[in-house]
Every structure is written in C-alpha cells, then in structure tokens.
Amino acid sequence: MYDDIIHLAMDQQLLTEIRERDAANYKKMPFWKELQNSANTSQLEQKLMSEKQLTFEKIFFKEPVGYHLMKSFLINEHSVDKAVFLSDVEVFKTLQDPRAREQVASKIFSRFCAPQKEEDIWNIDSRNQGLSVFEKIEDVNGKEGKGDDIKQKKKKKFVEHRIEEQQHHEEKDTDPLKYRMSLLTENTNNIGVYGRPIERLKKRIEEEAIVNKEIFNEVAEEVINDLRLDVFPRFVKSRWYQMYLRCQAYIEEKSQTVTIRDFYQMRMLGRGAFGVVNACKKKDTGKLYAMKQINKKRVQGTDSIEAIMSERNFLADIGIGANDCRFVTSLKYAFMDESTLYLVLDLMIGGDLKYHLNHEKVFNEERSRFYAAQVLLGLEHIHNKHIVYRDLKLENVLMDDKGNIKLSDLGLAVRMRDERGEKKRFVDTPAHLEGMRGGGARFFFPSTSPKKKKKMWFILECRFLCGKKPFQSVRRNRAREPQKDDKQRNQTAELDRNVVEMEPSFPLEYFSANARSLVKGLLCKNPRKRLGANGIHEIKQHPWFDSADFGLLEAGYLDPPFIPSLDEIHAEGQQSIGRPPQDDMFNKLRITPEFEKSLEGFTYINKVIIQEEIVEVLKKVNSLEGKRQGHHQDNTAGDLPPYIDNALQPNGERQSCMARCLVV
C-alpha cells in the first residue's frame, strides 16, 4: 500500500513537470539567477577574441545562443528574415531525401526570395517575420488599441529600412516619388537580394531534376556578406551582445563537468540488462531528460565494457544539437560516480511502441505506414554514420509528445568499417541476422551503395500490422510457463530454424495486397533478391509507401496519426519494472583499477545542448515578460539585466571590447 502511494506520487510529479514545461517561472531557475550576477565579462571577451571565437561565422552559424540573440537583434532591425533564411538553408543541406530537398527548396524560395506583393509590403503582420519554413504558423492574439500605434511606428520604420536597403541594388530614378514607390513595389523580397542571383536560383529550382544541396549558395553568400559587414558591427554594440557574453561565461563554467547532483531524479521508466532508466530534470535550466543508469559492477562482472563504450560513442556520433536526426535519440551528457555510469538522453514522453501495441493490439495501415517510414529514415541516418543498428524491436522505438518516433538503444550496434576503413566482420545467430531476436520481429535486408561499394543492412519494423511475430510457432502463442534451461535452448534452436526455413503467413484481415508484397520482399531468403538489395530507394518506392511523402516527413511537415495523452504515463507501472535479473550476485564484486582505467573517455558534455537549454530559458523568460506586460514582445532576448562595468557609452549602454575595436 505504501509503495503504491509513492509510485502514484512519482507519476503525478512527472506528469506535472511535463504539463507545466511552458508555464514554469523560468526567472527562478538557477541559470537565470547566475546570469544576473555575471556582470563583468571583459576578461572573457578578450580571451575569446584572442582565440578568434567572436567572429560572425562562429557566433551565427555554430552557436544556438549566438544565433538566437542575433535573430533577436535583427527583429528590431526588421531584417530577421535574413537570419532565418540562412538557418533554413543550413537545415536544407542536411536533408537526405531528394524529394525533401525539392519541396523544401520551393518553400524557402517562396518564403524568402520571391518578390512580394504590394499589399504584403504594407501589411507587416502578413509577412510572418522570423518564421522558418520548418515551423508551423501559430496564431498570436494581441490586444487592439495601443498596439495599433506600435504597428504604425513599426510600419514606418520598416518602409524606411526597405528604401535604404534597396538603394544598394538599383539606380535612382529622376522622379523621387516614382523612385520611392518603385522601391516598395518591384522585386522586393524578404532578404534584400535581387536581380540575376534570384533569377538563376528560380530557374535551377524549376528545371533541375534533382535539387543540389548547394543550390542556395550564391544567394546565401550575398546575405552572409550583408550580415557580416553591416549587421554584425552593430550587433556587437548592442545589449544582445552583452547577453551573449554573459551566456558564454555561464557555458564556460558549466561545460567543465556534470555530475548526478546537477539533476533531479524522477519516475523510473524502464530497465535494461545493466540497470534502469529514469526521467530526470536538469536543475539549472529545468530541461527534462531520460537518464540511463548502468551498474558498474554488472558491467565488470559480465565483461561488457566494450559494449557500453561502443553505445556511448555511437550515441554521441548520431548528431549534435540542431543537426540531430529527428528519428534517432542522441547523447546529451555522460558521466559517472563510484558505482554507476550515467547516459542522459532525449525524454520520449509518449513511451515505446510495445506499450501502445499491447494496449491497442494492432495499428491501422495508415499509422503503421507512418511509423515504418520514420523508422526507415532513422535507419538511413544511422547507416550514413557507418553504423549497423542490429536491435530494432518495439521496445526500442520511442514516441515523443507530438506522436513522432525515434530509434533508441545502440547497445548492440557495430561499425561497418574499422579505423583503417576496412570492412568489419561480425558473427550472430540466424534469428538475429535474418529477422528476429526475442522481444520483437525485425526484418533485415542488405543493400549495396554504388558510391561507397559497401554492404549495408536496412531494418524495417512491421509487427504492428498484425500484432504477431512472423516466425513464432503455434507453441509460442500459448501462455508462457516456467521453462528449464534445456527447453529454452530448444525453443531458441526452433526459432533459428523457423527463420531459415519457415514461410510466414499474412492473414488477409491484417495485410493488404501491397503490405503482403512489402513484407514478403523484405523477408526474401535470397539476400540478392531481397527488397532493398539495390538501395534504400527500392523500399521507399514500393507501392505500399505511395501515400507516404518521405520528403515532407523528413522535413517535419507531416502530422502524426496519433498524439499521446499528457494525462497519463505511457510506460509500465513501476511495480512491474523490477530489478535486472541476478542483480544481487554482483553486489560483492569489487571494482578494479583496470576497469576504471578502461572507462577513460566515457564522460561527455554536448556544449550545443547546453546552449539550446539556455535559448529555451531565454524564450520562456521573454514569454513571461510579454504576458506580464500584456502584449507580445519582439525582443526574444528577455528581460536583460543591467550592465555594471565601466565601458559605458553616453546613452548608458556598455561598449564592448569588440565594439571599441571596430570604431575607426
């Protein structure tokens, strides 16, 4: 009874944290309080300048905090679309699917490069300043009356800025009035680039069969030059730059070390072979994560250090910050104490697909197709990193709060090539290599990349179509009874034999004709004839995926068919999770110095993630300030603290070392 009350309280604690993420008072966060106290940043600025860390390219392209604060500065300059355009182009270059590049290229051109209509120029709100093509438009309900006066002032300032900007690109007409009107009605776009570069870009988007990743380079270079030579010198004289330095001071301090004391631990979400997974909250920024806790003694006792270090390295390699694949979890932090190894990962609030399938028995074909397509894109990203996943099962496909899924747990993954670039060989059971292993059905199919000439394995999860494993025998469908070791070995041998010899059935009530064709192709015994043998495009082009737009899916435009409720925990009850089997047998084991030495390099801090946490706090603080003042603020830097050092300009603002260096 007591345990039930504790478990219920922990469930409610996690649900409250999830629901109140946007409503929390971020001004009470330790990060914000420390930011208020970091007044003198001159020494840090001089240090960063000497290391050439305060360049436009470094601040704008490499640091989320720098990009966010420069974007905030540009909002007041009515040039924020230039920053968003460059950011969208960088994301565009990461898209793997040719259809995704084609569709997103058209959206970027239409949003930023196409000439504006006259009514859009005068209507500031219709321009959706600062809106990325990867963001969904949300309605903002502002107050009338006084806000209209503010809009008129913004309109006047915006028009003056447009006229000044256009003067760099066109010659003046003899009639001043005619000239001023033509500047506002002809060839005006959101990024201030006109003429032949835009014409060439439009022609390439319309005519090229496959849109090249570098298609925006010419136009982007003009925007970069404008920001570097005109905007950046003014940015370093602004209060946003001072906020940037304060954030850098905080990052310098916090990126040195992370320990378990930096997190609040919450409800247990699951367990694995070496320990448990808990939800957790980072104390300084309030960010929610999942924390995988691995028992050191169990790792040493089972001689599994190589597997643990491989998983840590693979999770770190998957992606960094904004360049993470949206379909694979990645590592945020890794650290250890005397008894435990910790991996901090994405918190997937929606639970895993096994939990949902157990509750719903089967998924309809639309939902199955959506998950299968996202799994396929996740595997494509993993294989592009030269990693073989090898452990696709329902428990390892996790769902976020929006209903999108990510692959997790790279504990069984291997690299396809060694340090010298040579192919690596690995040995496994027929059941694992051909299709399934224990908890869920997995379908493996090889592919040869014509460019890299390497054998790759693509995996597709489709058990959710019928709720059954394709190679299980009739006996496996019966209720499980306690088995002796010899009987378990017999069942494993039977499973291996079924994978090699058995032809699975596809009941008509679950599988459409195209679904049967897809699964049969993936389960073909002959690897040379197996679907996907000539590349992942074979699978994407299968008729079952005709209604799945991989381009829009990769770009994040498609809405999931199911959104998990935030009123319940999508995981098994804590009393059902239990401890790893035979956990007590390792308690008396003593950690050896050799084992500790083998853990060198385990610690990991993703500095980009720290910056993204800071940006989230800055946005939340600004949102709270906007609500307090009764209007929507353009200044997304938040309520900036006062400057208290000596380098002040006549207007009371601090002049930075960088700004003084730029004064001629």
CB atoms inside a 10 Å sphere around CB 380: 21
Residue 638 has φ and ψ, to the nearest 5°, of 90, -165
Q: How far apart are CA 371 and CA 349, in angstroms?
A: 16
Query: Cβ distance 631 to 219 under 8 Å?
Result: no
Residue 39, CA distances (Å) to 69, 70, 635, 660 in order: 18, 20, 21, 18
292 marked as part of a ligand binding site: yes
3-state secondary structure 481-537: CCCCHHHHHHHHHHHHHHHHHCCCCCCCCCCCHHHHHHHHHHCCCCCCCCCCCCCHH
Q: Which helix (H) or strand (E) holds 81?
A: helix 80-94
Q: How far apart are CA 499 and CA 430, in angstroms?
A: 7
Q: How far apart are CA 67 and CA 57, in angstroms?
A: 10
Query: Cβ distance 405 to 374 under 8 Å?
Result: yes
Residues in the chain: 664
Crossing angle (nearest 10°) for helices 64-77 and 80-94:
140
Q: Where are the extended beta strands (E) located within 288-409?
A: 288-295, 331-336, 340-345, 351-352, 387-388, 397-399, 405-407
Q: What is the CA radius of gyration of the chain?
A: 28
Q: How many CA atoms lie within 13 Å of 612's alpha carbon, on the beta-carbon side? A: 14
Residue 263, exposed/middle/buried by CB under 10 A (0-12, 13-18, 19+)? buried
Nearest Cα residue to 151 out of 511, 634, 653, 637: 634
Query: Cβ distance 440 to 431 under 8 Å?
Result: no
Query: Cβ distance 371 to 353 under 8 Å?
Result: yes
Q: How would you classify the pairing of strands 331-336 and 604-605?
A: antiparallel
Query: Can 391 be counted among the known catalytic residues?
Result: yes
Q: Which residues of 548-566 are buried (b: 16+ CB within 10 A; e: fewer)?
A: bbbbebbbebbebeeebee
Q: What is the dihedral of CA 94, 99, 100, 102, to 10 degrees?
A: 90
Crossing angle (nearest 10°) for helices 239-254 and 607-629:
140
- SS3 of 3, please? helix
Residue 341, CA distances (Å) to 259, 264, 549, 593, 600 in order: 11, 16, 40, 16, 12
Query: Cβ distance 150 to 632 under 8 Å?
Result: no
CB atoms inside a 10 Å sphere around CB 109: 21
- Read off the tokens for 570: 């999508």
Q: How would you classify the pairing of strands 397-399 and 351-352?
A: antiparallel
Residue 558, CA distances (Å) to 90, 371, 401, 464, 542 in order: 20, 12, 15, 20, 20
Q: Catalytic one among 391, 418, 549, 559?
A: 391
Spatial neighbors of 27 by CB under 8 A, at least 6 apart, are: 621, 624, 639
Q: Where are the extended beta strands (E) located within 389-435?
A: 397-399, 405-407, 414-415
Task: Measure the CA angle with vertex 384, ends 65 and 379; round to 5°.
Answer: 95
- SS3 of 64, please? helix
Catalytic residues: 391
**Binding region for ATP:** 292
Residue ranges for the binding site?
Answer: 292
